[in-house]
Structure 1
Amino acid sequence: MIAKNFLTFSNLKEKLSLPKPWDIIIIFLLNILIAIPVFLIGHQNFIELNWVYNLDRILLFLIIVTIIQIILQLLKTIIILCIFIYLISLIYGTLFGSYGFQRVYEDYRYMIYAMSDNPKPQDLIISKLLPFPNKSKTIDAVNFTNPKVRNFALYATTKHFKDIKKNNKNRTLIQCFAVFKEIKNNWNYVSDPKGREYIAYASESLQHFSGDCDDHAILMSACIKAIGGTPRIIHTGGHLYPEMLIGNKNDLESAIYLIKEVLFKDESKNQQIHYHIDERGQIWMNLDYTAKYPGGPFMKDEILGELTFN
C-alpha cells in the first residue's frame, strides 16, 4: 500500500514537472520577480557600507537571489502547480472577470514604482497582501447599473449645484459632489446586527438611507460610478470609507477651489482638504460619512487595503 502510494506520488510529480530547460527558466523568472521587491526592502532598511561601486548592494542582491533560488528549487513541484492554477485563474479573469494579466502587470509595476521612493516599502507590500474584507460581496453590492441607483444619482445632480457653471472638465466632479451632499444630508448611521457583518446593496440602502460605514461606502461608490466618476473604498481595519478620483495636482487645485469658494464654502471655511496620493501619482479625495464636505478629515489615517471601481 505504501509502495503504491509512493508510485502514485512519483507519477504525479513527474507529470507536474516541466521538461528542461523550461523548469529552470520559469524558476529563474519567478526568482527575479520576487527578488526585486525583497531587495528594495533590504536596500532601504540595511545600513549602507559605502563600498566602491556599491558592491555592498550588489552583494546583497546576489545573496537574496541565491536564497530565493534555493527555496524555489526545493519547492519546485508545488510552485509549478501553483503557477499553473494561477495562470488558469488569470486567463479566466482576463476573459470573463475584471482581474487579468494586464491588472497583474500594472499592480506589480506600480508597486515597484512606489517602493523605490517609500521609506518603509514593507508597509506597502503588507497593504497589498492583506485581504480586503468581504471583497466579492462588496463588489456585488456596488450595483451601479441598478436603475434605482442611477436614478437617485441623477436626482442628486438636479437638486444640488445645477445652476453652477460647468465645463467638460469639471462637470462630473461637480455632479459627484452633488451626490455626496445628498447622501450626507440624509444618511442615518445604524449598526449591523450584533455578531454579524451585514452588507447591503447600494439599491437596498436607498430605501431608508441607513446603515453602517461599509453600507455608506458602497452606496457612495455606486452612485459616483453611476454618473461617470471613479470611486474606491478604503479599508482601515474596523472602518471602510469611500474616496473618489480627482486626477492630478492641477485637478486637485480646481477641486479645492470649487469646495472652498463655490460649493461648500460654509462647511469648509478655515478647514483643510484631506486626500491621498496613490503610487501612480493620482489624487483621491475623502468622502467619508463623518466629513461635512468633500475632503473632510479622515476618521482613520491608516490604509490596510483598497478596492477600486474603474
Structure 2
Amino acid sequence: MNPGQRVDPMAVRSTAVSVASDYTSAGSDFSYHQAAAIHHHVNETINYVPDPRSRNYIAPPEETLETGAGDCDCQAVLVASLLEAIGATTRLATVEAPDGSRHMLPEVYLADEGEDTAIIANDLGDFYGSQGYSTGWFNYETDSSGMVWYPADTAMGSYIGDLSSLSDSGYVDDYTDGSWSWYSVEYHHY
C-alpha cells in the first residue's frame, strides 16, 4: 500500500466507533477525547513488530487490527484510518533524522491558528490522566493554511503531542525559544 493512497475508513469503522463512543456528547462533533481514546487504544493493543528485512510492508488497517501488531507505518495508517472513521482530519508524516533513518507517524488536525491550544492540552491531559498516563507538553505545528496539527504517533509516542522519543532520535530540531520543527518531513494527506 502506498502511504499516499486513501484508506477506506469504513473498513475499521466498527473499532473506531466502539473505542470513541464512550466519549461522544449528544449532538457534538469529533472531540479531543475521542482522538485520545483511539490513540490510547492503539498504544495498548498494537505491538510494535518490524517488517521483514527484505522489504517495507505497509499493512492495511484491518490487517494491523487483526494481527495486533505492526511497525511505525502500519500503526500510522491504522491510527489515521480510525480517526478518519469518526470524522477527524489526518495526514501522515514521513520524517527523517540526520543519520538517514526514517519514521512514519500520523498527525491529527485539532484546531485552527489562533484557537486556544491550552484548552486542547487540558482536555487531552484530562483524558490521559484518567487512564493513568503522565504527560509532558502537547506539541503541535501550524501549517501555512493555519491548520494546527498534533503528532499522534503510537510507535514512538505515549500520547497525542508527545515528541520526546522522536526528539531523542533526531527527528525533531528543538530550538532554544521552545519551538521545534521536523528535521526533514514529507506529508501525505488522506
Q: TM over 0.5, yes or no?
A: yes
Provide the TM-score with structure 2 as the length reference. 0.78
Q: 2 CA distance for matches of 1:221 and 1:293?
A: 15
Tell me if the contact between 2:33 and 2:124 (Cα under 8 Å) persists in the aligned partners. no
Query: Which structure dedicates a bigger proportion of its chain to strand?
Result: 2
In the alignment, does 2:126 pair up with 1:245? no
**Which structure has the higher relative contact order (CA within 8 Å, separation 6+)?**
2
Q: 1:308 to 1:259 in 2, by over 3 A?
A: same
Highest CA radius of gyration, 1 or 2? 1
Q: 1 CA distance for matches of 2:51 and 2:68?
A: 14
Q: How many residues align?
A: 166
Matching residue within 190, 199, 208 for 2:58: 199
Q: 1 CA distance for matches of 2:148 and 2:134?
A: 19
Matching residue within 62, 69, 88 for 1:229: 88
Query: Which structure dedicates a bigger proportion of its chain to helix?
Result: 1
- Indicate the percent of aligned positions where both proteins have the same amino acid: 24
SS in 2 for 1:206: helix
Give the aligned partner of residue 259 of structure 1: 124
Matching residue within 182, 190, 203 for 2:41: 182
Q: 1:167 to 1:280 in 2, by over 3 A?
A: farther
Tell me if the contact between 1:259 and 1:268 (Cα under 8 Å) persists in the aligned partners. no
Please list the CA deviations of residues 67-94 of structure 1 after superposition, one character each: whole Å capped at 9, or x if unmatched. xxxxxxxxxxxxxxxxxxxxxxxxxxxx
Q: 1 CA distance for matches of 2:85 and 2:36?
A: 13
Equivalent position amino acid for 1:244 in 2:
V
Q: 1:223 to 1:244 in 2, by over 3 A?
A: same
Give the aligned partner of residue 178 of structure 2: none
Tell me if the contact between 1:268 and 1:293 (Cα under 8 Å) persists in the aligned partners. no
Provide the TM-score with structure 1 as the length reference. 0.49
In the alignment, does 2:3 pair up with 1:138? yes
Matching residue within 295, 298, 304 for 2:185: 304
CA RMSD in angstroms, aligned pairs only: 2.1
Please list the CA deviations of residues 271-294 of structure 1 after superposition, one character each: whole Å capped at 9, or x if unmatched. 111111111121101111122121
Q: 1 CA distance for matches of 2:53 and 2:157?
A: 26
Tell me if the contact between 1:232 and 1:242 (Cα under 8 Å) persists in the aligned partners. yes
Superposed, 1:115-194 pairs within 5 Å as 137-140=2-5, 142-146=7-11, 149-158=12-21, 162=22, 166=25, 171-194=30-53
Q: 1:280 to 1:287 in 2, by over 3 A?
A: same
Q: 1 CA distance for matches of 2:4 and 2:67?
A: 21
Instruction: Show structure 2 runs of 5+ residues with no match.
Output: 97-101, 173-181
Tell me if the contact between 1:156 and 1:178 (Cα under 8 Å) persists in the aligned partners. yes
Superposed, 1:63-78 pairs within 5 Å as none
Please list the CA deviations of residues 104-151 of structure 1 after superposition, one character each: whole Å capped at 9, or x if unmatched. xxxxxxxxxxxxxxxxxxxxxxxxxxxxxxxx72244733122xx000
